[in-house]
Structure 1
Amino acid sequence: MPTARERVRAEITAEITAAARRQLAEVGAAALSLRAVAREVGMASSAVYRYFPSRDDLLTRLIIDGYDALGAAAEDADDPAAPTEQRWTAVCAAVRDWARAHPHEYALLYGSPVPGYTAPRDTVPAASRVGVVLGRVLGDAARAGRLHGEGGRVPGLLGDAAVEVLGQDAPGIDDAVRVRALLAWSGLFGTISFELFGHLVGSVEDADAYFARATAELGGLIGLA
């Protein structure tokens, strides 16, 4: 059970990160300032530094929190009892819903890089959560005989991290299937980014209908449909 001091620290940390998320909406990630966050929460800058020693530490926390929230949305949407194509489209819809509800956090994760900031390895597990859900769908589809790989591993094509996330060693999954899965995965986020950043204006009449059709096509590319 957390001590009183630990509870207070957790509450203040949550207050600081909430203020930082509001700053993201107002000024963007590149202009995020610990001093401005401190003013908003009514703390001295020196006090905030005890929780986040630098702007980069605060950005890292926001990124991990964002990826975790997005990953949780994808995980909650996945029903292992449903047909694989329905699982894929449900996860895609949940990712889009989260992005539309949190556009500034989504932009931090998938928008332009923040000048002078490099995300540490600490962000990788959280960033992989949506991919892990897709890998679970792929693995179940392969075990059900829906995917048929023949080529195994292709030297120099995909890294071990992609293999680990996208189906691991499930029978029927090879690098050809994983490439299609990566195309679909990047296509999902590309479609969402185009919508959120205004690039579909004038090209798409009904964003909901377009997204449903696009994700169905991406599922078909993988072999889920």
Structure 2
Amino acid sequence: MTSFPARNRRADARRSRAAILDAAVQLLNARPDASVEAIATAAGVTRQTVYAHFPSREHLLGAVLDRVTEEAVAAMDAADPDAGPAAVALLRVLDASSRAAGRHRVLLQKIGSLPVSPEQDRDRHAPVVDRLRRVIRRGQETGEFDGGLALDWLVAVTIRLGHAAGEEVDAGRMSERDAATALHTSLLRVLGAGRAAASPDQPAAESGSTSPVGSATAKTTRLSR
């Protein structure tokens, strides 16, 4: 039987880990080069406690990226990807993810430049890809999207277009609004849906940030940056 002290220690560890991640997300988005010591201070713990949870700065940054990705996935789920026409749902899900990622734009640009194995990147962003795949598959099944193209190809194109939108904004060549409009229009054309698929109350131009895909995926799902 597990003792109360042991359970309390685990609960304390979970709270301190959460506090560290909360502080890291907030601080690194304002100061991408903030030190581990500064993060520890912001979290109200010691530097040693941070390293007890995260053996290196790289481990901490990886956990921060996981946290931001989880936020993007939660936003995608909250956008109700299974409701309404697939084309409208897809744009709604992308915009929701984009808004979530847009809250951590500086942080994602910094972490997105760090080396990561293809396996790690794929595993981290699998939930984002899964949600895109689900909506696009539904659109193919209902005839809204081109059923003659492979599902994985359309998912990959969606991600690449998200990358492109984010890169154009980061480079200062497009505003967030223009990049969102270009992303929506291009994506619907590729999917075979056409611009008319967007609903009147969800115009393509109204996107919170770059793209969902542009962030939730920092690299392959640097789906936004």
Task: Provide closer, same or farther for how the CA distance between residues 107 and 18 of structure 1 changes in structure 2, counting only shifts above 3 A.
Answer: same
Distance 2:117 2:35 in 1: 17
- Corresponding position: 1:94 with 2:96: yes
Indicate the residue corresponding to 1:215 in structure 2: 184
Indicate the residue corresponding to 1:56 in structure 2: 58
Task: Provide closer, same or farther for how the CA distance between residues 85 and 209 of structure 1 changes in structure 2, counting only shifts above 3 A.
Answer: same
Asked whether the equivalents of residues 34 and 54 of structure 1 are also in contact (C-alpha less than 8 Å), the reply is no
Q: Which runs of 5+ in 1 are unaligned?
A: 150-172
Indicate the residue corresponding to 2:132 in structure 1: 134
Shift of 1:15: 1.2
- Corresponding position: 1:16 with 2:20: yes
Secondary structure of 1:43's aligned partner: coil
Asked whether the equivalents of residues 71 and 126 of structure 1 are also in contact (C-alpha less than 8 Å), the reply is no
Distance 1:217 1:120 in 2: 27
Asked whether the equivalents of residues 64 and 126 of structure 1 are also in contact (C-alpha less than 8 Å), the reply is yes
Secondary structure of 1:79's aligned partner: coil
Q: What is the correspondence of 1:12-91 to structure 2 with a 5 Å cutoff?
A: 12-28=16-32, 31-91=33-93
Amino acid at match of 2:165: T
Alignment RMSD, CA only? 2.8
TM-score (ref. length: structure 2): 0.71
Q: Which runs of 5+ in 2 are unaligned?
A: 195-225
1:7 to 11, 19, 25: 11
- Corresponding position: 1:191 with 2:165: yes
Asked whether the equivalents of residues 60 and 119 of structure 1 are also in contact (C-alpha less than 8 Å), the reply is no
| Aligned residue-pair number | 189
Amino acid at match of 1:47: T
Distance 1:181 1:124 in 2: 14
- Corresponding position: 1:104 with 2:106: yes
Amino acid at match of 1:144: T
Q: Percent identity?
A: 20
The CA deviation string for residues 26-45 of structure 1, in whole angstroms up to 9 with x for no partner, is 331xx343233223334332
Task: Provide closer, same or farther for how the CA distance between residues 40 and 61 of structure 1 changes in structure 2, counting only shifts above 3 A.
Answer: same
Q: What is the correspondence of 1:201-212 to structure 2 with a 5 Å cutoff?
A: 203-204=174-175, 207-208=176-177, 211-212=180-181
Task: Provide closer, same or farther for how the CA distance between residues 120 and 23 of structure 1 changes in structure 2, counting only shifts above 3 A.
Answer: farther
Task: Provide closer, same or farther for how the CA distance between residues 62 and 135 of structure 1 changes in structure 2, counting only shifts above 3 A.
Answer: same
The CA deviation string for residues 193-220 of structure 1, in whole angstroms up to 9 with x for no partner, is 433x2523xx55xx43652353133122
Task: Provide closer, same or farther for how the CA distance between residues 77 and 96 of structure 1 changes in structure 2, counting only shifts above 3 A.
Answer: same
Task: Provide closer, same or farther for how the CA distance between residues 119 and 16 of structure 1 changes in structure 2, counting only shifts above 3 A.
Answer: farther
Distance 2:8 2:35 in 1: 29
Shift of 1:179: 3.0
Secondary structure of 1:128's aligned partner: helix
Amino acid at match of 2:191: I
